Amino acid sequence: MWLSKYSASGNDFLIFHTFKKDDYSKLAKKLCNRHNGIGADGLVALLPHTKYAYEWDFYNSDGSNAEMCGNASRCVAHYAYKNQLAPKKHSFLAKAGEIKVEVNGLVVEVNFGKIKMLDKNIIENNLHFYLLDSGVPHLVAFINEKSNLPKNKNDFLQNLRQKYNANVNLAYIKNKNKIHLATYERGVEEITLACGSGMAATFYLALSNKKIKNDCILIPPSGDKLHFRTEKNDVYFKGAVQKIGDVII
């Protein structure tokens, strides 16, 4: 079996394409293990599709499925283009629906479509959270100090993730053009170096509340500067990817 390992802002994935639709959850848990496997945040299988360039089957490192992953979308788009599975500009099918992507060198832009507001009135530990759907559910709250952004998981974040079955984002708005944030991701069960769908939800919420300008930079724990914008109410996300290498198992 031949796989490619990619990283998008420190969010890393193992990717392969196949004609065989199967349950790869056990394989994901095995290969994504940081100590006894190759190590990754997720495993993605690309499958043929009659309407789209391909369909993806996405697994978190714990073997669970996810409807959408923004950083994986960037990696997969580049992989598909480089392996002649799709042109630079194409669409693929995820559980969240059609995902539109465009490859320009190592930079890939993803169209998240329209972000949905699910709940505006969640108060936890004196923080005002919003629940949004950016392909997967995300809780988002804004904090007043950048130094209070979590660097590691804690009981508060774990309990929120379990209570709402959602990813949890804490964000600090530095100015109208820049947001720093940290995301606790379900399926990985840790603060990850970057989460594309979490950044998309955070950007949409801040823009809706008129706290930032359109075309804003979001900075996750990896330190990468990711560009977000809206066009016709769709949220677009752009950043560079890195191919780590190929693996044969």
Dihedral (CA of 192, 197, 203, 205) sign? negative
φ/ψ bin of 158: left (φ > 0), alpha (ψ from -120 to 50), beta (otherwise)? alpha
Q: Is 208 helix (H, G, I), strand (E, B) or coil?
A: helix
Q: Which residues contact 175 (CB under 8 A, 6 or more apart)?
A: none
58/23 Cα distance (integer angstroms)? 10
* CA 65 to mean position of chain CA atoms: 13
Identify the active-site residue in 32, 69, 75, 216. 69
118/65 Cα distance (integer angstroms)? 21
Q: Is 75 a catalytic residue?
A: no
Residue linked to tokens 């709402």: 164
- What's the one-letter identity of residue 158? Q
Identify the active-site residue in 32, 75, 195, 216. 195
Residue linked to tokens 């007043």: 144
Structure tokens at 119: 């709940």
> Looking at 143-189, which runs of residues are DSSP E strands?
167-175, 178-185
Helices (H), 5-108: 25-32, 70-82
Q: Is 216 a catalytic residue?
A: no
Annotated catalytic residues are 69, 195
